[in-house]
Structures are given as C-alpha cells and as structure tokens.
Amino acid sequence: MRKVFQADLQQIGEELIEMANQVAVAMDRAWESLANADVELAQEVIAADAKIDFLQNQLDERAIDTLALQGPVASDLRMIVGSLRMSASLERMGDLARHLAQLTRLRFPSRALPSEITGTFSQMAQLDIQIAQAVAKLLDTRDLQIARDIIELNHRLDALHASVFTQVADEAWTANAPTTVDVSLTSRYLERFGDHGVSVARKVTYLVTGEWDPSEV
C-alpha cells in the first residue's frame, strides 16, 4: 500500500509540473496572438485551455481518492491538500491566458492594443512566461531560491501594471473607451497571472519549511 501511495504522490507532483509547463506555453502563445492580431493562434490557445482544465480535474480526482483511501498525515497530508490548491491557481493562470486570446478574437482584424503601450505589455507577458517556467522548475526541485525569484519577478510585474494605469490616467491619453477597457483588462490579466504564480510559490515554500509567512510576498 505504501508503494501505491508514494506512486500517487509522485504522479500528483508530475501533473502539477505538466500544468505549469502548459500555462507557460499558453501565455507565450496568447501574447503572440494578441500582439500580432493572429486569430488562428488565438483560437488554438482557447481550444488548448481544455487540456489544462482536464489536467486539473484529473489531478484533483487523484488527490481526493488518495485522501480517502490512504488517510495521509503530517507532511503528506499538506502535500495533497496543497496540490489541490496549487492546481486551482495553475488552472486560473490558463484561464487568464485564454482571456488574452479571446480579446484577440474579439477585436480581429484590428489589434486590441495601441502601439504606444504594447512595449509595456510585452515586458509583462515575458515576466509572466518566466514566472510560469520558474513555477514548473520549483515544483520539480523544491529549490526555495526559485520561489524567491518568482516573488521578485512579480514585483517587477506589479510595477509595470501600475505604470499602465498611470499612463491611462494621464491627460495625454487619447484612446477611445473600448480601447481603454481593453488596455485595462489586459494589464489586469497579466498582473493576476503573476499573482497566481506567487501563490504556488508560497505553497511550495510552506510544504518545504512547514512555515507560512505572507510577509515574504
């Protein structure tokens, strides 16, 4: 029974890593579709989100079955419960990438974003991709320096998010209302993607140390 239990734990960990890799790809492709008004690529991102949802459901079912059948305690219990919460964060990251692709599709054949702000969003998207890739590596290695790196990347993301709203609020901003809404939503989607990456990093830190310290974020 113990071998089966350990195999289940390993499978849950591998599925979390796969989800993190999938959301990194989703963000990369979603941003490319949005920057280039590539509606075919956007549709691929939207369709691929179903795979991330499937991975979450599969992982959650496995975790719940393990809880019910194995009765884990201490660190193993924290691992399984933490995995359920991390899978929810990763699934939400996939949803946020899908939202970007849906915006591409909504505004096609036009570009959703004005050229003067695209550079800022490109930086935000690249930070998000780095965060997702780092999350996958963190889940694999449990190296807490990677968790700290994720938090630092997210601080940079937050600063760019704030700069977007400063730009939109400036008197020099002349974009119409629909474009302003698109810009605001895009910034929010990119910022929230990073927040969910931090959420996973905090949970891994807790699993490794047994200590919860929200002040580190």
- Cα–Cα distance between 48 and 60 in angstroms, integer? 19
pLDDT exceeds 90 at position 203:
yes
| Residue-level pLDDT at 1 | 53
Contact between residue 32 and residue 38 where contact means Cβ atoms under 8 Å apart: yes
Q: In the numeric block, which tokens belong to residue 196?
A: 């969910």
216 falls in which pLDDT band (50, 70, 90)? very low
pLDDT exceeds cutoff 90 at 62 = no
Q: How far apart are CA 129 and CA 148, in angstroms?
A: 16
Please name each of the domains of the chain with its CATH number.
2-216 (1.20.58.220)
Q: What is the average pLDDT across 28-49?
A: 98
Mean pLDDT for all residues in the chain: 92
- The pLDDT value given to residue 217: 41
What sections of the chain are H helices per DSSP?
2-36, 39-70, 74-107, 115-141, 144-169, 177-209
Lowest mean per-residue pLDDT among 5-19, 30-44, 97-111:
5-19
pLDDT digits (tens, 9 = 90+) for 65-110: 887 777 666 777 888 888 999 999 999 999 999 999 999 999 999 9
DSSP letters of 135-182?
HHHHHHH--HHHHHHHHHHHHHHHHHHHHHHHHHHSTT----HHHHHH
Q: Which of 18, 30, 12 minimizes the C-alpha distance to 121?
A: 30
pLDDT digits (tens, 9 = 90+) for 144-199: 999 999 999 999 999 999 999 999 999 999 999 999 999 999 999 999 999 999 99
Write down the pLDDT at residue 2: 67
Of residues 78 and 50, more confidence is placed in: 50
Closest CA to 124 of 59, 189, 37: 189
109, 37 Cβ separation under 8 angstroms? yes
The tokens for 40 are: 């075919």
pLDDT at 189: 98
pLDDT over 90 at 16, yes or no:
yes
